[in-house]
């Protein structure tokens, strides 16, 4: 009788399904590292976005400050409340008053070589003439150093000139610079009732003065629409 053949123990074959569901330690480590890298990348991205937002905010604030500072230097505006008040009282465009002040003094009160004073550069004789017309019996030349009085008298004189020349702005501005008698002489010689084109002004200085005021008038209308209204 043949001896029985001993049974060999078969090795268990690992289940593929079990292997897929239970990854090895190495695979688990790789997954953990990937997750960590993704987390770091997210934090870096968020940090970069925060930095960009901060830089953008600072740049915006700086640009606004620069823009305002540049405007103050290139096209300053002071006493806008007085300008609005006097423009309304004299039926003038507040931007026109601002433009005259800009051309006359750049909003820095001073005395000219001809003796004109204050923001709107009024001659003492002209100011006393205005005081007589407006009941300013207590007026003194020193009062022209006061912005309220200077702008009030300057605006009155602008309106006076506009009335004198039938609301022709170019003619009135020429008279503000060269004098009413001088402009009346030009008109008498030319046979015209008004000057409508600055290039027709005989005096080069007055011609440039009027052109500069008209240019500043447009700029103040645009740049300071909110402050000056109209």
Catalytic amino acids? 104
3-state secondary structure 100-132: HHHHHHCCCCCECCCCCECCCCECHHHHHHHHH
172-177's contacts with Cβ under 8 Å and 24+ in sequence apart are: 173/100, 173/209, 173/210, 173/213, 173/214, 174/198, 174/201, 174/206, 174/209, 174/210, 176/100, 177/205, 177/206, 177/209, 177/210
Q: Read off the tokens for 221.
A: 């209308």
Q: Read off the tokens for 91.
A: 């039926």
Sequence-ordered list of residues with C-beta below 8 angstroms from that of 118, at least 6 positions apart, any chain: 105, 109, 144, 145, 146, 147, 150, 154
Backbone φ and ψ for 198, nearest 5 degrees, come out as -55, -30
Backbone φ and ψ for 134, nearest 5 degrees, come out as -110, 5
């Amino acid at each position: 009788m043949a001896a029985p053949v001993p049974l060999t123990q078969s090795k268990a074959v690992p289940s593929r399904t079990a292997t897929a569901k239970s990854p090895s330690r190495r695979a688990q480590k790789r997954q953990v590292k990937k997750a960590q890298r993704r987390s770091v990348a997210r934090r870096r991205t968020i940090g970069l976005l925060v930095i960009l937002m901060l830089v953008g905010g600072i740049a915006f604030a700086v640009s606004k400050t620069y823009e305002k500072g540049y405007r103050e230097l290139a096209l300053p505006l002071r006493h806008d409340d007085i300008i609005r008040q006097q423009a309304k009282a004299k039926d003038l465009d507040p931007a026109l008053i601002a433009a005259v002040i800009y051309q006359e003094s750049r909003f820095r009160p001073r005395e000219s070589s001809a003796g004109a004073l204050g923001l709107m550069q009024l001659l003492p004789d002209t100011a006393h003439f205005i005081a007589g017309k407006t009941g300013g019996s207590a007026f003194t030349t020193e009062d022209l150093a006061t912005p309220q009085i200077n702008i009030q008298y300057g605006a009155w004189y602008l309106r006076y000139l506009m009335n004198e020349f039938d609301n022709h702005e170019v003619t009135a501005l020429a008279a503000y610079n060269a004098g009413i008698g001088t402009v009346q002489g030009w008109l008498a010689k030319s046979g015209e009732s008004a000057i409508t084109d600055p290039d027709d002004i005989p005096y080069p200085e007055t011609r440039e003065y009027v052109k500069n005021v008209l240019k500043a008038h447009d700029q103040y209308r645009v740049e300071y629409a909110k402050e000056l209204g109209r």
